[in-house]
Structure 1
Amino acid sequence: MMLRRAVLTAVLAVAAAGVTAVPAVAAPPPGTAANHFYYTVTPSYQGAAENLWEISARFLGDAGRAGEILDLNAGRVQPDGRRLTDPSRLRAGWHLVLPWDAVGAELQYGPPPVRAGEASDCARDASVPASAAWGQALLTPDRAWPEADGSGVKVAVIGSGVDGSAPELADRVATGADVAAGTGRGDTDCEGAGTALAGIVAGDDGAGGKKFGVAPKARIVPVRSGTATRSAATAIHVAAESGARVVLIGADVDSADPAIRAAVSDVIGQDVVVVVPVTASTAPMDGLLRVGVVGADRRPVQDYPGGSVDLLAPGVDVATIGRSGSGAEYAAAFVAGTVALVRSAHPKLHAAEVTRQVRSTTAEGLVSPVAAVTTPLPDGVGVQAAARNPASGMETLSRVLTWVGVTLAVLVLLAYLLPRPVRAVAGSVARRRAHRQALAARARITADGDDPFWERPE
Structure 2
Amino acid sequence: MPARLKTLYRLFVVLLLACGLVQAATVGVSTAEPGTTTSGYVKYYTVAASNQGGPEDLTDIAVRFLGNAERSAEIYALNAGRPQADGTGLTDPRSLRAGWVLVLPWDAVGDGIRYGLLPATHNPGTSDRPTSNKPATSGNPVTSEKPATSGGSASTPDGRGGPRGGATDPRNASKPSTRSGDGSRPTNCGGKTIANKQSTWAQQQLAPGHAWERSRGDGVMVAVVDSGVDASLPQLSGRVAVGADVTTGNGHGDSDCLGSGTAMAGIIAGNSDQPDMPSGMAPDATVLPIRVVTKGATAKATDAANAIEVAVSTGASVIAVGSFVSLTEPEVSAAVSRALTQDVLIVAPAPTEPVTVPEPPEGAGAPGALLSVGGIGPDGKLVAQYEESTVDVVAPGADVASLGINGNGTVNMSGSQYAVAFVAGQASLVRSAYPELNATQVKHRIEVTAERMGAEPPDKQYGWGMIKPAAAVSATIEGEVAAAPPDGGGGGGGLARTVAIMVVVFILLAAVALLLLRARRWARGSDLASDDPDESSAPGPTAQSEPAGRPRR
Q: With the length of structure 1 as denominator, give the TM-score of the two structures.
A: 0.57
Q: Which residue of 2 aligns with 1:267?
A: 339
| Aligned-pair identity (%) | 38
More helix by share: 1
Q: Which residue of 2 aligns with 1:26?
A: none
Q: Which residue of 1 aligns with 2:228?
A: 161
Q: Which residue of 2 aligns with 1:170?
A: 237
**1:261 shift after superposition:** 1.6
Q: Which residue of 1 aligns with 2:180?
A: 76
Q: Tell me, yes or no, if structure 1 residue 363 matches structure 2 residue 451.
A: yes
Q: Which residue of 2 aligns with 1:414?
A: none
**1:294 shift after superposition:** 1.6
Q: Tell me, yes or no, if structure 1 residue 12 matches structure 2 residue 168.
A: yes
1:380-433, Cα deviation, whole Å (9 max, x unpaired): 42234889xxxxxxxxxxxxxxxxxxxxxxxxxxxxxxxxxxxxxxxxxxxxxx
Q: Which residue of 2 aligns with 1:454?
A: none
Alignment partners' CA distance in 1, 2:270 and 2:196: 11
SS in 1 for 2:372: strand
From 397, 411, 414, give the equivalent of 1:315. 397
Alignment partners' CA distance in 1, 2:301 and 2:216: 33
Q: Tell me, yes or no, if structure 1 residue 329 matches structure 2 residue 417.
A: yes
Alignment partners' CA distance in 2, 1:355 and 1:266: 18
Q: Which residue of 1 aligns with 2:431?
A: 343
Higher relative contact order, structure no. (Cα contacts within 8 Å, ≥ 6 residues apart):
2
CA contact (8 A) 2:436 2:485 kept: no
Q: What is the letter of the counterpart of residue 353 of structure 1?
A: Q
CA contact (8 A) 2:163 2:309 kept: no
From 442, 450, 473, give the equivalent of 1:354. 442
> Given the superposition, is the C-alpha separation of residues 273 and 124 from structure 1 closer, same or farther in structure 2, using an over 3 Å criterion?
farther
CA contact (8 A) 1:15 1:184 kept: no
> Given the superposition, is the C-alpha separation of residues 243 and 9 from structure 1 closer, same or farther in structure 2, using an over 3 Å criterion?
farther
Q: Which residue of 2 aligns with 1:239?
A: 311
Q: What is the letter of the counterpart of residue 297 of structure 1?
A: D
Alignment partners' CA distance in 2, 1:129 and 1:381: 47
> Given the superposition, is the C-alpha separation of residues 238 and 123 from structure 1 closer, same or farther in structure 2, using an over 3 Å criterion?
farther
Q: What is the letter of the counterpart of residue 370 of structure 1?
A: A
Alignment partners' CA distance in 1, 2:301 and 2:469: 32
Q: Which residue of 1 aligns with 2:478?
A: 378
Q: What is the letter of the counterpart of residue 376 of structure 2?
A: V
> Given the superposition, is the C-alpha separation of residues 236 and 7 from structure 1 closer, same or farther in structure 2, using an over 3 Å criterion?
closer
**1:341 shift after superposition:** 0.7
Alignment partners' CA distance in 1, 2:306 and 2:226: 12
**1:16 shift after superposition:** 3.4
Q: Tell me, yes or no, if structure 1 residue 276 matches structure 2 residue 348.
A: yes
Alignment partners' CA distance in 1, 2:267 and 2:319: 14
> Given the superposition, is the C-alpha separation of residues 263 and 132 from structure 1 closer, same or farther in structure 2, using an over 3 Å criterion?
farther
Q: Size of the alignment, in residue pairs? A: 293
Q: Which residue of 2 aligns with 1:288?
A: 370
Q: What is the letter of the counterpart of residue 371 of structure 2?
A: L
SS in 2 for 1:171: coil
Q: Name the Cα RMSD after superposition.
A: 3.6
CA contact (8 A) 2:184 2:232 kept: no
Alignment partners' CA distance in 1, 2:277 and 2:215: 17
Alignment partners' CA distance in 1, 2:271 and 2:291: 22
Alignment partners' CA distance in 2, 1:378 and 1:270: 25
> Given the superposition, is the C-alpha separation of residues 307 and 150 from structure 1 closer, same or farther in structure 2, using an over 3 Å criterion?
same
SS in 1 for 2:169: helix
1:184-231, Cα deviation, whole Å (9 max, x unpaired): 100000111100110011110279997520111110000011310011
State the 4+ residue runs in structure 1 displaced beyond 6 angstroms.
Answer: 128-132, 206-210, 322-325
SS in 2 for 1:260: helix
Alignment partners' CA distance in 1, 2:191 and 2:231: 8
Superposed, 1:56-205 pairs within 5 Å as 71-73=176-178, 75-77=179-181, 81-82=182-183, 122=189, 133-205=200-272
**1:8 shift after superposition:** 4.9
> Given the superposition, is the C-alpha separation of residues 13 and 357 from structure 1 closer, same or farther in structure 2, using an over 3 Å criterion?
same
> Given the superposition, is the C-alpha separation of residues 360 and 124 from structure 1 closer, same or farther in structure 2, using an over 3 Å criterion?
farther
Alignment partners' CA distance in 2, 1:359 and 1:249: 19
Q: Tell me, yes or no, if structure 1 residue 212 matches structure 2 residue 279.
A: yes
Alignment partners' CA distance in 2, 1:212 and 1:129: 18
> Given the superposition, is the C-alpha separation of residues 309 and 83 from structure 1 closer, same or farther in structure 2, using an over 3 Å criterion?
closer
**1:153 shift after superposition:** 0.4
CA contact (8 A) 1:268 1:351 kept: no
Alignment partners' CA distance in 2, 1:247 and 1:162: 14
> Given the superposition, is the C-alpha separation of residues 76 and 302 from structure 1 closer, same or farther in structure 2, using an over 3 Å criterion?
closer
Q: Gapped runs of 5+ residues in structure 2? A: 1-156, 294-298, 360-367, 406-410, 453-464, 488-553
CA contact (8 A) 1:131 1:316 kept: no
